[in-house]
Amino acid sequence: MQGLPGVSVITGWALTAGDILGYGADTVILATGSRWSADGTQPGVAGVIAEGLLTPEAIMAGARPRGRRVVVYDADGYFVGPGIAELLAAEGRDVTLATPFPVVSPLSDHTLEGSMLRRHLHRAGIVQRPGVTVLDFDGTRARGTDAFGSEVGIPADDVVLVTHEVATDDLADALAGADLHVIGDAASPGPVSEAVFDGHRLARALDAPAAVLLRERLAQ
């Protein structure tokens, strides 16, 4: 991108609302992303699991569970939960991957990777607990219910929450009223493909406001 005419790339600068307003840009596009919920709130499930538990961002930034036994609770259903579970298992921890879905990582079945992924997790020594909704963590056990409503308790020294993402929209709120476009996860957290399309759509719309962009085309 540095070689494109009229394009400047600036890294290492966290802009404030004042920085953006004083920049002099006619149009502002915010793609500030999202972060994983740190309290374990889940769509369709009342309450929080616990405050201050680990998230995928914390793990990748170097934070580690408080003990050997770890529950990775995956209510996302794709690759992040299994990836975190594999990382921690490779470090010698006893990892249980719990998920409310009927199988671990059901979205991977749509990319024909699900069966291979689950076999890989099994070979890595990760215990898979599908059909489990975790509701709280008391410091020694992750507790919840199974698909039939029966109580479940999984011994654990810590829990990593992969429940849902929260839009990082602080700047958008502070810039309300400006000529502003909020795209990607900052507008609505979702798969990376949705964020890529959101950016593509907006770029086309800025160049040709009247154009209609068809996301899908019928095969001839």
When the pLDDT of each residue in the chain is averaged and rounded to a whole number, the result is: 92
Query: Considering the domain boundaries, does residue 183 fall inside one?
Result: yes
Residue 23 forms part of a structural domain: yes
Whether residue 89 is found in the same domain as residue 128: yes
Residue 155 in domain = yes
Are 83 and 144 within one domain?
Answer: yes
Q: Which two tokens stand for residue 172?
A: 């958008």
Domain extent, residue 57, equals 36-165
Same domain, 129 and 186: no
Q: Count the neighbouring beta carbons within 10 Å of the beta carbon of residue 99.
A: 25
* Arithmetic mean of pLDDT, 165-190: 90
If asked whether residues 101 and 183 sit together in one domain, one would say no
pTM for the predicted model, two decimal places:
0.86
Q: Let me know whether 108 and 198 are in one domain.
A: no
Q: Please give the pLDDT value at position 176.
A: 81
- Number of domains into which the chain is organized: 2
Asked if the structure places residue 58 within a domain, the reply is yes
Sign of the Cα torsion 193, 195, 196, 202 reads positive
Distance CA 21, CA 25 (A): 8
Summarised one tens digit per residue, pLDDT across range 115-162 is 999 999 999 999 999 999 999 999 999 999 999 999 999 999 999 999
- Which pLDDT score, from 0 to 100, does residue 70 have? 98
Given a cut of 70, is residue 1 above it in pLDDT? no
Task: Please report whether residue 215 resides in a domain.
Answer: no
Neighbours of 199 (CB within 10 A): 14
The pLDDT of residue 6 is 82
Instruction: Decide if 65 is inside a domain.
Output: yes
pLDDT at residue 150, rounded to an integer: 98
